[in-house]
Structure 1
Amino acid sequence: MPKALETVLEIDLKSLEHNYRFLRSKLNPGTKFLSVVKAFAYGSDADQIALKLQELGTDYFAVAYVKEGVALRKAGITKPILVLHPQPVNLEILIEFQLEPSMYSFGILNQFTALLNRKEINRYPVHIKFNTGLNRLGFAEKDVESLLELLENKDTLKIVSLFSHLAATEDPKEEAFTRKQIAKFEKISVEVTNRLKIQPIRHILNTSGILNYQEAQYDMVRSGIGLYGYGNEARYDAELKPIATLKTIISQIHHLSPSDTVGYNRAYVSRSSRVSATLPIGHADGIGRQYGKGKTFVLVNGKMAPIIGNVCMDMIMIDITDIPSKEGDEVILYGPELSAHEVAKTANTISYELITGISQRVRRIYSS
């Protein structure tokens, strides 16, 4: 791509294809693949990412909320879209755009069933979520009997899948807990399928699950962070390619004298003659204040430069004293050359938070 002339997020669709094919290579031939494109496809661009994944042959998509699914439909996505966390107020539009809701509680199940009855709709596709230990959403094991009584002999719903969410597939120390979750899901799903005499898709593995628990593939797997180039482990990060590079430029260079200060609250004090550069990106763009005060580095002309002072709303300042630089030079905040995982660690957070937090005012550009 040409050199950045402003703050941009470069999205490499070839790297997306590489990651998709790598993850699929870990699956049995008949295992379906669900691509998670919630949160603007993890901070990139849901429309372009989903269109590319649809072209590559993904079987399913997942989003968090109905609004995200509607946007995908308007962008031309025709594959099934699972809405992981539908809200009752959005159920009518969910039906209008042929989205498939997760039924995670008796409340959402009863409200959706009542709506279908009023509209005289039968066999609407839904996904039943079970809580096997993450304790966010899903029917508990103790709910299964009551749930089955509600679902038996009803034509209103078509149960497309049964699924659960694992809590710690990337952590070897939690293997026993993960296997306990898988065993619980196996028990519940067998009971449900036998009782209702159905053969739904079953899925429980996320990205780290695909890589570490391949024997629990069931009928489908789900991947989010892996598609975007992060495997939560160094050995898998080496196999994946970050699809996004956050770039900006140097707007102005300052020559600081000893005791000069930089930024709000004079948070940086120069102890000697230093050179600083101001960049047109700040916490309104997703680079939060936690990255300031020397904790985090950016890449300038191949060398690491620390962020100094407090991160401002629209600007950050960096120390380029030992880096030959000029105004207009390109600066990399994260990407293949500087992992978002490593950058996030400097602020005691995770790559997910960093990459999904990039503001929509940052222009997205694409290579394929």
Structure 2
Amino acid sequence: MSKAQETVLEINLKALEHNYNYLKSKIKPNCKFLGVVKAYAYGSDSVRISQKLVDLGIDYLAVAYAEEGVTLRNAGIRVPILVLHSQIVSFDTIIERCLEPSIYSERILREFIISAEKHGQKDYPIHIKFNTGLNRLGFNESDIPKIIKILSETNAVKVLSIFSHLAASEDLNEKEFTENQIRSFNTIASQIEAALPYKPFKHLANTSGIINFPEAHLDMVRSGIGLYGFGNDDNEDSNFIPVATLKTNISQIHSLEPNESVGYNRAFTATEKIKTATLPLGHADGIGREYGNGKGVVRIHGQNAPIIGNTCMDMIMVDVTAIDCQEGDEVIVFGQDPTATKFAEGAKTISYELITGISQRVKRVFVD
């Protein structure tokens, strides 16, 4: 029987390569590819993931905030890095570390120009984001004349790209909505191209856009969740390999008699004689209380072991009555079986939330 020494998040870089190549196969050879590595590369390790993507030939990387980009620059990553949610307080850092900001409002545009001029910049690359239906960040189409006027008054910045974000590209029941977003963006792009003396490149498609809407590929595509092994669709998931596997081990096995309880608040009480295993991870590691009381299920020797009682900060208890196991045996929380998608379903959440929430105290190990 397999033994595990500690709780680890195993990162399979070969799986990352597989997912990258699968997504690349969906786009034309001249279409650029941006890898999203925000939030510790979706809970894994942003530096190692970025280094691997650079080795594979990635054209661009994207982070949410400037400090994530600084981490990559400090690790020697030199490919262009788009900061998707740039903040005024970070503009000096963005320029000093050669990061490229997403500019999504008049306030952000004016303030970044001030910073660029202060640093003596000319044609500093910026990316203008438009809102086409997600209603989160972005200029509206009606803002185009104002944008063009502001840009005409400075040579400190240059629009390297224009982009938007699809809201429901994974849901083909919302196909009409997505097609409307694509049409809206194309209308915006044509106006921008007519107004500027140069032609920015365009990007719109996320992972599900790459798969479901080839007409949205444009000059570059962006993938986050797909790189990490999830296709946002039961059929597509089979084409991907999950990059991260959360493994732990059995610390102790208990035998409970009827009416004995497990864990805090006595949330579980045995109705018959059962066997439980205590595992060394809990809500401080990213397995929240919502997974307790049977909503989360781990795998031990290929068999399901439901979480019983409340999840503790550093421990969870699982029912192993029907499983032949010993203390020290390996436990798979999520990976290929169960996947993070399947594990998250028990708590009515999604793989994104689960994998990005794995604590940094969980050791990362790499397989290539």
Place the TM-score, normalised by the shorter chain, in its bin.
over 0.9
Q: In the alignment, is residue 77 of structure 1 matched against residue 96 of structure 2?
A: no
Q: In the alignment, is residue 164 of structure 1 matched against residue 164 of structure 2?
A: yes
Q: In the aligned structure 1, how far is the partner of 2:89 from the partner of 2:216?
A: 35
Show the counterpart of 1:287.
287
Q: In the aligned structure 2, how far is the partner of 1:343 from the partner of 1:320?
A: 17
Letter in structure 2 aligned against 1:155? N
Contact 2:3 / 2:328 at 8 angstroms: preserved in 1? no
Show the counterpart of 1:314.
314
Q: In the alignment, is residue 144 of structure 1 matched against residue 144 of structure 2?
A: yes
Q: In the aligned structure 2, how far is the partner of 1:3 from the partner of 1:203?
A: 46
Go from structure 1 to structure 2 and tell me whether the alpha carbon gap of 1:266 and 1:48 turns closer, same or farther (over 3 Å shift): same
Gap runs ≥5 in structure 2: none
Show the counterpart of 1:174.
174
Report deviation, 1:155.
1.2
Q: In the aligned structure 2, how far is the partner of 1:197 from the partner of 1:123?
A: 13
Q: In the alignment, is residue 336 of structure 1 matched against residue 336 of structure 2?
A: yes
Letter in structure 1 aligned against 2:8? V
Show the counterpart of 1:360.
360
SS of 2:208 mapped into structure 1: helix
Show the counterpart of 1:211.
211
Report deviation, 1:51.
0.1
Matches within 5 A, 1:3-18: 3-18=3-18
Show the counterpart of 1:248.
248
Show the counterpart of 1:131.
131
Q: In the aligned structure 1, how far is the partner of 2:367 from the partner of 2:250?
A: 23
Q: In the aligned structure 2, how far is the partner of 1:3 from the partner of 1:168?
A: 42
Deviations 1:94-142 (CA, angstroms, capped at 9, x unpaired):
1111000000011111111011122221111110000000000000111
Report deviation, 1:3.
4.8
Show the counterpart of 2:270.
270
Letter in structure 2 aligned against 1:249? N
Q: In the aligned structure 2, how far is the partner of 1:116 from the partner of 1:361?
A: 38
Q: In the aligned structure 2, how far is the partner of 1:120 from the partner of 1:238?
A: 50
Q: In the aligned structure 1, how far is the partner of 2:4 from the partner of 2:66?
A: 34
Contact 2:228 / 2:241 at 8 angstroms: preserved in 1? yes
Show the counterpart of 1:184.
184
Q: In the aligned structure 2, how far is the partner of 1:119 from the partner of 1:50?
A: 28
Q: In the aligned structure 2, how far is the partner of 1:14 from the partner of 1:90?
A: 34
State the TM-score, normalized to the length of structure 1.
0.98
Q: In the aligned structure 2, how far is the partner of 1:176 from the partner of 1:317?
A: 46
SS of 1:227 mapped into structure 2: coil
Q: In the aligned structure 2, how far is the partner of 1:166 from the partner of 1:313?
A: 37
Contact 2:42 / 2:225 at 8 angstroms: preserved in 1? yes
Q: In the aligned structure 2, how far is the partner of 1:283 from the partner of 1:215?
A: 42
SS of 2:187 mapped into structure 1: helix
Show the counterpart of 1:350.
350
Report deviation, 1:200.
1.3
Between stretches 191-200 and 301-310, larger displacement belongs to 191-200
SS of 2:190 mapped into structure 1: helix
SS of 2:226 mapped into structure 1: helix
Gap runs ≥5 in structure 1: none
SS of 1:272 mapped into structure 2: coil
Q: In the alignment, is residue 325 of structure 1 matched against residue 325 of structure 2?
A: yes
Q: How many residues align?
A: 367
Letter in structure 2 aligned against 1:79? V
Letter in structure 2 aligned against 1:76? G
Q: In the aligned structure 1, how far is the partner of 2:350 from the partner of 2:40?
A: 17
Go from structure 1 to structure 2 and tell me whether the alpha carbon gap of 1:157 and 1:279 turns closer, same or farther (over 3 Å shift): same
Between stretches 173-182 and 117-126, larger displacement belongs to 117-126
Report deviation, 1:152.
2.4
State the TM-score, normalized to the length of structure 2.
0.98
Show the counterpart of 1:121.
121
Q: In the aligned structure 2, how far is the partner of 1:320 from the partner of 1:288?
A: 20
Q: In the aligned structure 2, how far is the partner of 1:181 from the partner of 1:309?
A: 45
Letter in structure 2 aligned against 1:124? Y
Letter in structure 2 aligned against 1:219? D
Report deviation, 1:306.
0.3
Deviations 1:192-243 (CA, angstroms, capped at 9, x unpaired):
0111122211000000000000122110000000000000001110000001
Between stretches 190-199 and 297-306, larger displacement belongs to 190-199
After TM superposition, the runs of 4+ consecutive aligned structure 1 residues lying more than 4 A away are none
Contact 2:277 / 2:319 at 8 angstroms: preserved in 1? yes
Q: In the aligned structure 1, how far is the partner of 2:338 from the partner of 2:201?
A: 38
Show the counterpart of 2:236.
236
Q: In the aligned structure 1, how far is the partner of 2:121 from the partner of 2:99?
A: 14
Identity between Structure 1 and Structure 2 (%) = 56
Q: In the aligned structure 1, how far is the partner of 2:216 from the partner of 2:164?
A: 12
Contact 2:95 / 2:116 at 8 angstroms: preserved in 1? no
SS of 2:254 mapped into structure 1: strand
Report deviation, 1:72.
0.5
SS of 1:228 mapped into structure 2: coil
